[in-house]
């Protein structure tokens, strides 16, 4: 049997992280079985349709490295893949159910006549699930405006598109009995069902558009790496057989089995995502990192290349959005807040300016040596000395490694900034 999975997003806004979560599992399951992933747009809710939402779904999933084999943008044997373009098909199928006596017309709509038998299936994640007969009443399958209802369209499409595994959110468990009733009426063997646990926020509530970060585009803007977000989403729904926490899609595909999917609602813990993201940042080679950092630098970067300075923050950031704050002093002179300095700062800056001015051959070895000698001679507290330098050169107490930064800034710029900071400190002295 050729495995065929699908994702069926409704294009009602931005690309939702829940769509990505479902997509990752369907993608991996199809790839593992050397099958196909179908992308179908459930766009029959005309009122909720938003312009650009379809493109946002494509962009969000592509960013994460999820590819599909058939879809509105790709075509395929079983299209069209937008439900709004399949209205004729639904009409035909509904008419067939009317003819067979399984449905009837009701004030312009078509209603499915439910047999009332018990419904049961073995969910790949949750095991046996049953709904007593009588739970499912007669229900509308075609509305009077000619549009199908969700439960009807999904079954018609999953049959036509030869879907073998329906992997989707647990909020659809309660829809499954109606869908099974339709499969029975059509005389078609239903697909396997696997219901993924719903992602929850710190308050254990379903992630919501209002209070929670759910827009894939926003994650990207924040400086999360797609690999980190994918890894994080995998961990939310599944556990690695070796308890590993850091792994890529390839490894997920290799080890995925539906029975290792979690049942309880996982908590979307941003701190954990930040931690993972930091790991992926540190694993980047410098060139790739520079590329990524470049997307997040808002400063005008003339003079010093991003490539030169990006490696300095590799160990210091968990999100790329933190990069600009740490690096901007390379490109623009800081506003030095005098109040940040300590009592010893005037002496620190005078010493630093003098020894740096003596250097003939500007390099890290020289800078390290000069500072070490001066700290010893003047009995400075090492931490305080460097803090004075950080503030004078960047205006901040947190910087990339300061000696490396000094070398990149260059002798002229450094001496000039030290001078400016000393002036600022002098102005602060009380007049006598």
The count of chain residues that interact with ligand GLU, using the rule CB under 6 A, is 7
* Helical ranges in 360-401 per DSSP H: 364-378, 382-394
* Helical ranges in 84-143 per DSSP H: 87-99
Q: Considering the rule CB under 6 A, would residue 10 count as an interface residue with ligand GLU? A: yes
Q: How far is the CB of 43 from ligand GLU (least distance, A)?
A: 9
Range in contact with ligand GLU (rule: CB under 6 A) among 3-11, 277-285, 335-343, 396-404: 3-11
Alpha carbon distances (Å) from 30 to 7, 110, 165 = 11, 35, 9
Alpha carbon distances (Å) from 47 to 5, 12, 71, 248 = 28, 9, 23, 38
Contacts of ligand GLU in 150-209 (CB under 6 A): 154, 168, 172
Catalytic residue (one of 209, 221, 338, 423) = 209
Give the C-alpha separation, 83 to 346, whole Å.
Answer: 71
Identify which of 364, 339, 345, 356 has the alpha carbon closest to the alpha carbon of residue 413.
Answer: 356
Structure tokens at 35: 């099958």
Residue 55 belongs to what H/E stretch? helix 53-64
Q: Which is nearer to ligand GLU, 22 or 277 (CB)?
A: 22
- 411-430 footprint of ligand GLU as x/- string (CB under 6 A): --------------------
Q: How far is the CB of 45 from ligand GLU (least distance, A)?
A: 9
Count other C-beta atoms under 10 Å from residue 187's C-beta: 7
Q: Considering the rule CB under 6 A, would residue 9 count as an interface residue with ligand GLU? A: yes
Q: Which is nearer to ligand GLU, 168 or 200 (CB)?
A: 168
**Would residue 209 show up in a list of annotated catalytic residues for this protein?**
yes
Range in contact with ligand GLU (rule: CB under 6 A) among 6-14, 128-136, 330-338, 356-364: 6-14
Q: Which is nearer to ligand GLU, 19 or 114 (CB)?
A: 19
Contacts of ligand GLU in 321-340 (CB under 6 A): none
Range in contact with ligand GLU (rule: CB under 6 A) among 2-10, 27-35, 97-105, 396-404: 2-10
Q: Which is nearer to ligand GLU, 42 or 212 (CB)?
A: 42
Q: Find out whether 175 and 151 touch, Cβ atoms under 8 Å.
A: yes
Q: Which is nearer to ligand GLU, 11 or 400 (CB)?
A: 11
Q: How far is the CB of 238 from ligand GLU (least distance, A)?
A: 18
Bridge-based pairing state of the strands 139-142 and 109-112:
antiparallel
Give the C-alpha separation, 272 to 232, whole Å.
Answer: 8
Q: How far is the CB of 155 from ligand GLU (least distance, A)?
A: 9
Q: How far is the CB of 6 from ligand GLU (least distance, A)?
A: 7
Q: Considering the rule CB under 6 A, would residue 43 count as an interface residue with ligand GLU? A: no
Residue for token digits 């590819």? 67
Q: Which is nearer to ligand GLU, 10 or 318 (CB)?
A: 10
Q: How far is the CB of 40 from ligand GLU (least distance, A)?
A: 9
Beta-carbon contacts of residue 4 (< 8 Å; ≥ 6 apart)? 30, 35, 36, 37, 38, 161, 162, 163, 164, 165
Identify which of 92, 80, 78, 67 has the alpha carbon closest to the alpha carbon of residue 41.
Answer: 80
Q: How far is the CB of 173 from ligand GLU (least distance, A)?
A: 11
Binding site for ligand GLU (CB under 6 A): 8-10, 42, 154, 168, 172
Residues acting as catalytic residues? 209
């Amino acid at each position: 049997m050729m495995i065929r999975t699908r994702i069926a997003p409704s294009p009602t806004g931005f690309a939702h992280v829940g769509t990505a979560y479902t997509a990752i599992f369907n993608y991996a399951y199809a790839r593992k079985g050397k099958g196909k992933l179908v992308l179908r747009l459930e766009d029959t809710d005309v009122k909720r349709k938003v312009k650009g939402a379809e493109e946002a779904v494509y962009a969000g999933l592509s960013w994460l490295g999820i590819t599909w084999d058939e879809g509105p943008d790709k075509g395929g044997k079983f299209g069209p893949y937008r439900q709004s373009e399949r209205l004729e098909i639904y009409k035909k199928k509904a008419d067939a159910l009317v003819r067979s006596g399984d449905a009837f017309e009701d004030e312009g709509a078509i209603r499915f006549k439910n047999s009332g038998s018990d419904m049961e299936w073995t969910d790949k994640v949750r095991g046996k699930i049953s709904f007593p007969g009588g739970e499912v009443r007669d229900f509308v399958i075609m509305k009077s405006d000619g549009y199908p209802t969700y439960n009807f369209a999904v079954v018609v499409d999953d049959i036509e598109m030869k879907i073998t595994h329906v992997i989707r959110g647990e909020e659809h468990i309660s829809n499954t009995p109606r869908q099974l009733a339709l499969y029975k009426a059509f005389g078609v063997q239903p697909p396997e069902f696997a219901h993924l646990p719903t992602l929850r926020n710190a308050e254990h509530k379903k992630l919501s558009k209002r209070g929670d970060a759910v827009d894939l585009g926003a994650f990207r803007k924040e400086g999360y790496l797609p690999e980190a977000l994918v890894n994080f989403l995998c961990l939310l729904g599944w556990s690695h057989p070796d308890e590993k926490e850091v792994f890529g899609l390839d490894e997920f595909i290799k080890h995925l089995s539906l029975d290792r999917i979690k049942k309880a609602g996982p908590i979307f813990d941003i701190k954990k995502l930040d931690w993972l993201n930091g790991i992926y940042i540190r694993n980047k080679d410098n060139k790739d990192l520079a590329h990524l950092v470049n997307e997040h630098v808002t400063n005008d970067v003339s003079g010093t290349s991003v490539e030169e300075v990006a490696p300095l923050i590799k160990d210091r950031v968990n999100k790329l959005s933190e990069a600009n704050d740490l690096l901007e002093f390379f490109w623009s002179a800081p506003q030095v807040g005098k109040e940040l300095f300590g009592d010893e700062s005037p002496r620190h800056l005078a010493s630093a300016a003098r020894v740096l001015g003596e250097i003939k051959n500007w390099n890290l070895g020289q800078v390290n040596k000069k500072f070490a000698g001066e700290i010893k001679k003047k009995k400075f507290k090492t931490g305080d000395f460097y803090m004075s330098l950080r503030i004078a050169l960047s205006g901040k107490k947190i910087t990339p490694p300061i000696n490396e930064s000094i070398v990149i800034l260059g002798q002229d710029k450094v001496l000039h900034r030290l001078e400016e900071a000393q002036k600022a400190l002098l102005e602060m002295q009380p007049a006598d």
